[in-house]
Amino acid sequence: MALLQLSNCTLRFEGLTAVSDFSLAMQPGELVGLIGPNGAGKTTVFNMVTGAYRPQAGRIVFDGRSIVGLKPHQIAALGIARTFQNVRLFGALSVLDNVRIAAHHTAAHGLAHTLLRTARFRSEEARITREALRLLRLLGLSGVKADPASALPYGLQRRLEIARGLATRPRLLLLDEPTAGMTPVETESLMHLIKGLRDDLNLTILLIEHDMRVVMGICERVVVLDHAVQIAEGTPEAIRSDPAVIEAYLGEVNEQPL
């Protein structure tokens, strides 16, 4: 059974159709790429899945349960984590705290335990801290764990966003242009990291990307959006030579040069 199933989803913003009749099925463990020219609607798909926007038509089913209409924090608690196109970290919090906060919804200590500092409080906080440190180690961020998130260099900020997403114990991870603005070396490193995370942590990953190296390198399947519509789907090699995809990115093949 598909872990995530979008069926015929349409999202309109007051006259502008951002996503039209979009369908996607993701099996557990897949690493799928979502590509398309700017403005195609890719981030909007993410926003629909995470509950930031509600589609006017269509169904979204996650792990057998419809998630349309649920609030973003509820969807996150169900096991869907995401990163953002423009990094959205909690700048004033330390790197460690950014990761720890993401584990908050798994915490078993409520207000009473917190105020009275019971044993349950101490053990839960210790568990959260342990797991956060583990994730930081996994993503190579242990050295900066006490620094405020806003002080990190860009590449590390992106990694921190991923670490934070992982702390929510997701089954599905949505990465929005994770290598944007990175050097080729950083991109290569992150690419392998993402693949490794999928393998080691049993994740399903949907990836928005512009960098074709990443798409070709780690995606098993690629879906292409253009102007709100899905225009192609297949293996990376098939997509690369698909005329509709080429046209979308580069314009008409038969256009006369100026």
Partner 1 sequence: MRKAVPYLMAAAAAAAVLALSHFSEGMNPYLLQILVYMGVNVILAASLNLINGFAGQFSLGHAGFMAIGAYTAAAFTYYLGGYEGTAGQASGLINAFGHAGVPSSVASPLVFLAALLAGGIAAAAAGLLVGLPTLRLRGDYLAIATLGFGEIVRIVISQIEAVGGPRGFSGIPKLTSVAWVAAWVALTLICLRNLLASSHGRAFVSVREDEVAAAAVGVDTTRYKVLAFSIGAFFAGIAGGLFGHYLMYLHPNSFTFIKSIEIVVMVVLGGMGSLIGSAAAAIVLTLLPEVLRTFNGALAVGYCFAISITVARPLGRPGAARALGLLAMSTAGLAALLTLGAGTGSTSELDWMLGLGLAAACAGLISCWLARGRARTLGTVAVSVAALGFGLLLVGPNMLPGPLLAAKGWVEANVSQLRLVIYAGILVGLMLARPRGLLGGRELTWRVLRSFVRSATARASGKSHSGLAAT
Partner 2 sequence: MTGLQKFAQLLVQGIARGSVYSLIALGYTMVYGVLRLINFAHGDVYMVGAFIAYFAITAWHLPFLPALLVSMAGCGLLGVVIERCAYRPLRNQPRLTALITAIGVSLLLEYGGQLVFGASPRKFPTDVLTGPSLRALNAVSDALKAHPGISVSTAQLVIVISSVLLMVALRLFISRTKVGKATQAVAQDRETASLMGIGVDNIIMLTFFIGSALAAAAGVLVALEEPQIDPIMGLMPGVRAFVAAVVGGIGNIPGAMMGGLIMGVAEYLVVGYISSAYRDAIAFGLLIVVLLVRPTGLTGKGMVEKV
Q: Give the SS3 label for residue 124.
A: helix
Q: Does 43 bind partner 2 (CB under 8 A)?
A: yes
Q: Does 197 bind partner 1 (CB under 8 A)?
A: no
What tokens does 67 get? 């998630």
Up-side HSE of residue 181: CA atoms within 13 Å toward CB? 12
What tokens does 75 get? 């969807």
Number of residues in contact with partner 2 under rule CB under 8 A: 4
Residue 244 carries which side chain, given as an amino acid letter?
A
Residue 7 interacts, among partner 2, partner 1, none and using kind-specific CB cut-offs from 5 to 8 Å, with: none
The greatest distance separating any two alpha carbons of the chain, rounded to the nearest whole angstrom, comes to 75
Q: Does 72 bind partner 1 (CB under 8 A)?
A: yes
Per-residue binding string, partner 1, 91-110, x by CB under 8 A, is xxx---x--xxxxxxxx-x-
Residue from 84, 94, 134, 147 touching partner 2 (CB under 8 A): that is 84
Q: Does 11 bind partner 1 (CB under 8 A)?
A: no
Residue 43 interacts, among partner 2, partner 1, none and using kind-specific CB cut-offs from 5 to 8 Å, with: partner 2
Q: Does 180 bind partner 2 (CB under 8 A)?
A: no
Residue 31 is given by DSSP the state E
Q: Give the SS3 label for residue 112.
A: helix
DSSP string, 42-105: HHHHHHHHHTSS--SEEEEEETTEE-TT--HHHHHHHTEEE--SS----TTSBHHHHHHHHTGG
Q: Give the SS3 label for residue 156.
A: helix
Q: Does 90 bind partner 2 (CB under 8 A)?
A: no
Interacting residues with partner 1 between 18 and 57 (CB under 8 A): 50, 52
CB of 199 to partner 1, least distance (A): 23
Interacting residues with partner 2 between 115 and 144 (CB under 8 A): none
Q: Does 168 bind partner 1 (CB under 8 A)?
A: yes
Q: Does 47 bind partner 2 (CB under 8 A)?
A: yes
Stretch that binds partner 1, among 161-169, 193-201, 222-230, 246-254 (CB under 8 A): 161-169
User: What are 229's strand-pairing partners?
Assistant: 226
Q: Which residues here bind partner 2, judged by CB under 8 A?
A: 43, 47, 52, 84
